[in-house]
């Protein structure tokens, strides 16, 4: 009796033959031939939405996947899932990443398919899809939607969203007018696709390829490029190969491939968000990422990709310069080449041929890096016992070893109300502190990019140390410490910081410390009010009650198997 394709996981009516008969009857109503209905099924998880501008070109991309599946002898079956439009979700898309992961996991498990193609791109989408697929345990392959191409403003090439932050900072400083910022606004995002810089979406696309979960060369092609459609066809064909081999993500994603992904993350100067997402993805397979290991890989990996916000180039330039395969060839002797990929080949086998042509100004050679070390450093110390993160590749090195006075904002609302107050007691040497912006408090929004206070921006200050339990967009830049864990809302030391306290940052020592004596901290802790639930019902209450801290990827506690340390 056939148990694959459309007959996988029959609906339970208490009569299996009736269930097969009924499913065939309903399937005939789709107009597909009986012969096609007997083929292996490749599900195509789509995330198109009018609230997700990044995925505007996804319907055409899905059609290319279907061509690849049909050409390889399969039956493509498209189905929708939750869609996460980064700029259209309140309070933050991060809160709904786990919801999408649950949606993907359950729909892949519940519907009849022999493999699944995961189509998405916008920031939290790729990790959500991979988290769900990793837990579902079916053969799976990722297809990203691709980045935007750049726009133009008065002859200057621009792309969302590093440039949007740069121009907004100039507007806040009074350097450009309301009319000019409105014109800039219409020039930043001019095509379908994800942000054109090395933000979270681009970073996760590169990591999906580095993990072996996407076809080689698929991370960087712009959404509107013909290469993106050819990659879609190739992905459909690769999905059919997965059907035949039966390889699941657990067969592909290993400790070696996670370490390779970490090295790529550091070499590209990737988003700080990626560490949370990669931790959550690996966690679904019982794998953990240790702070010491991240810092060791960071210290031995130069930053090689000169894309904004670390360099001056864009994703379309990276694609024209050989994309991720060019970078992997450059890093070849530092990678674990026995890691398997969705193609069935190891990474080493994929890199046996000559490297693609590459522009050394975009993909820098090892002897001429942008920076000699990787982009991220995991900090620990008395202010962050379980960790915090700084993106040193987008920060000011002159601020890396510094002790400063804390200027504290107790919430996002407090920040909005006081950051531009002309009477705010703040100087450039101070450290801006935001608390109650972590996962339990508010879903962990991208609020870590605290604006420079207006009174300092008007004096020409462009950077200062800022720290919080929030996240930061991968498109942002500055000397910013993020993901301070435990967060303030669960009683972490961040909850105890007061205006005027001294805080010490040492990137060299990977330390973040609050310089207040223990007796005083104990008195402050005893005076903390009891935490109260912010949400009363539904998914938001589920999130608040079960979300883990940043060092565990902000996944749900009930979705993570027992961890297996990476050998």
CA pair distance 189, 182, nearest whole angstrom: 13
Note the pLDDT tens digit of each residue in 404-452.
999 999 999 999 999 999 999 999 999 999 999 999 999 999 999 999 9
Instruction: Confirm if 11 and 111 have CB atoms less than 8 A apart.
Output: no
CA pair distance 287, 80, nearest whole angstrom: 29
Which residue has 């042509």 as its token pair?
357
- In this prediction, residues 6-25 reach a mean pLDDT of 92
SS3 of residue 151 by DSSP = strand
DSSP string covering 438-491: SHHHHS--S--SPPPPHHHHTTT-----EEESS---TT--SSEEEEEES-GGGT
- Residue 370: exposed, middle, or buried by beta-carbon count in 10 A (0-12, 13-18, 19+)? middle
CA pair distance 450, 452, nearest whole angstrom: 6
Q: What pTM does this model have?
A: 0.95
CA pair distance 390, 401, nearest whole angstrom: 13
Note the pLDDT tens digit of each residue in 246-295.
999 999 999 999 999 999 999 999 999 999 999 999 999 999 999 889 99
Note the pLDDT tens digit of each residue in 508-565.
999 999 999 999 999 999 999 888 777 889 999 999 999 999 999 999 999 998 765 5
**H or E, element range at 417:** helix 412-418
Locate 105 and state its tokens: 């996991």
Q: ω into residue 114 within 30 of 0, thus cis? A: no
Residue 487: count other Cβ atoms within 10 Å of its Cβ: 26
Which domains are delineated in the chain? 1-38 (no CATH), 39-149+191-350 (3.40.50.2300), 151-185 (no CATH), 376-532 (3.50.30.80)
Confidence of residue 19 (pLDDT cuts 50, 70, 90): very high
Q: Phi-psi bin for 305: left (phi > 0), alpha (psi -120 to 50), beta?
A: beta
Locate 185 and state its tokens: 């606004």
pLDDT of residue 2: 47
Tell me how many degrees the CA angle 136-540-96 measures, rounded to the nearest 5.
Answer: 50
At residue 114, what are phi and psi to the nearest 5 degrees?
-90, -20
CA pair distance 160, 505, nearest whole angstrom: 30
Instruction: Confirm if 183 and 231 have CB atoms less than 8 A apart.
Output: no
pLDDT of residue 1: 41
Q: ω into residue 91 within 30 of 0, thus cis? A: yes
Q: Which of 19-33, 363-377, 529-543 has the lowest mean pLDDT?
A: 529-543
Share of the chain above pLDDT 90, in %: 90
Instruction: Confirm if 340 and 254 have CB atoms less than 8 A apart.
Output: yes
pLDDT surpassing 90 at residue 160: no
- In this prediction, residues 307-325 reach a mean pLDDT of 95
pLDDT surpassing 60 at residue 566: no
- Which of 192, 193, 189, 167 is CA-nearest to residue 180? 167
pLDDT surpassing 80 at residue 106: yes
CA pair distance 238, 217, nearest whole angstrom: 13
Q: CB within 8 A of 12, min separation 6: which ones?
A: 19
SS3 of residue 365 by DSSP = coil
Note the pLDDT tens digit of each residue in 185-225.
999 999 999 999 999 999 999 999 999 999 999 999 999 99
pLDDT surpassing 80 at residue 75: yes
pLDDT of residue 310: 85
pLDDT of residue 567: 56
pLDDT of residue 240: 98
Q: To 10 degrees, the CA torsion angle through 466, 467, 472, 475?
A: 30
Confidence of residue 93 (pLDDT cuts 50, 70, 90): very high
CA pair distance 565, 567, nearest whole angstrom: 6
Confidence of residue 3 (pLDDT cuts 50, 70, 90): low
């Amino acid at each position: 009796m056939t148990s694959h394709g459309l007959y996988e996981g029959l609906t339970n009516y208490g009569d299996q033959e009736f269930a097969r008969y009924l499913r065939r009857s309903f399937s005939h109503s789709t107009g597909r031939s009986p012969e096609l209905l007997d083929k292996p099924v490749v599900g195509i998880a789509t995330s198109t939405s009018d609230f997700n501008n990044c995925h505007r070109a996804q319907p055409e991309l899905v059609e290319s996947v279907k061509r690849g599946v049909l050409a390889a002898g399969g039956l493509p079956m498209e189905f929708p899932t939750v869609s996460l439009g980064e700029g259209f979700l309140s309070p933050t898309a991060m809160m709904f990443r786990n919801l999408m992961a649950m949606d993907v996991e359950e729909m892949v498990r519940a519907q009849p398919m022999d493999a699944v193609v995961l189509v998405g791109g916008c920031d939290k989408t790729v990790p959500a899809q991979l988290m769900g697929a990793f837990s579902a345990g079916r053969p799976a392959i990722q297809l990203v939607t691709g980045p935007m191409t750049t726009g133009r403003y008065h002859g200057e090439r621009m792309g969302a969203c590093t440039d949007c932050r740069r121009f907004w900072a100039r507007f806040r400083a009074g350097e450009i007018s309301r009319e000019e910022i409105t014109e800039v606004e219409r020039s930043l995002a001019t095509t379908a696709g994800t942000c054109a810089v090395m933000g979270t979406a681009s970073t996760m696309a590169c990591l999906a390829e580095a993990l072996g979960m996407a076809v080689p060369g698929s991370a960087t092609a712009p959404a509107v490029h013909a290469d993106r459609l050819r990659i879609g066809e190739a992905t459909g064909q690769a999905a059919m190969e997965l059907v035949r081999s039966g390889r699941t993500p657990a067969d592909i994603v290993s400790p070696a491939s996670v370490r390779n992904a970490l090295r790529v993350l550091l070499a590209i100067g990737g988003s700080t968000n990626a560490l949370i997402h990669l931790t959550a993805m690996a966690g679904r397979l019982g794998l953990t990422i240790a702070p010491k290991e991240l810092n060791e890989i960071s210290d031995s990996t130069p930053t090689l990709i000169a894309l904004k916000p670390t360099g001056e180039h864009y994703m379309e330039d990276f694609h024209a310069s050989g994309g991720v395969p060019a970078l992997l060839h450059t890093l070849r002797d530092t990678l674990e080449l026995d890691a398997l990929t969705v193609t069935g080949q190891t990474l080493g086998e994929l890199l046996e041929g000559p490297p693609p042509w590459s522009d050394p100004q975009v993909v820098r050679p090892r002897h001429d890096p942008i920076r000699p070390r990787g982009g991220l450093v995991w900090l620990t110390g008395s202010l962050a016992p379980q960790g915090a993160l700084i993106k040193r590749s987008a920060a000011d090195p002159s601020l890396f070893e510094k002790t400063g006075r804390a200027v504290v904002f107790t919430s996002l609302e407090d920040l909005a109300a006081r950051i531009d107050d002309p009477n705010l007691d703040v100087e450039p040497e101070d450290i801006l502190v935001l608390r109650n912006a972590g996962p339990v408090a508010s879903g962990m929004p991208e609020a870590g990019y605290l604006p420079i206070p207006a009174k300092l921006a008007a004096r020409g200050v462009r950077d200062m140390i800022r720290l919080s339990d929030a996240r930061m967009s991968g498109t942002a830049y500055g000397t910013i410490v993020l993901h301070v864990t435990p967060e303030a809302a669960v009683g972490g030391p961040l909850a105890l910081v007061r205006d005027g306290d001294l805080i010490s940052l040492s990137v060299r020592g990977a330390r973040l410390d609050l310089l207040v004596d223990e007796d005083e901290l104990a008195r402050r802790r005893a005076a903390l009010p009891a935490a109260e639930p912010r949400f009363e019902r539904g998914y938001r209450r589920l999130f608040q009650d079960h979300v883990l801290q940043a060092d565990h990827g902000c996944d749900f506690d009930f979705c993570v198997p027992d961890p297996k340390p990476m050998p």
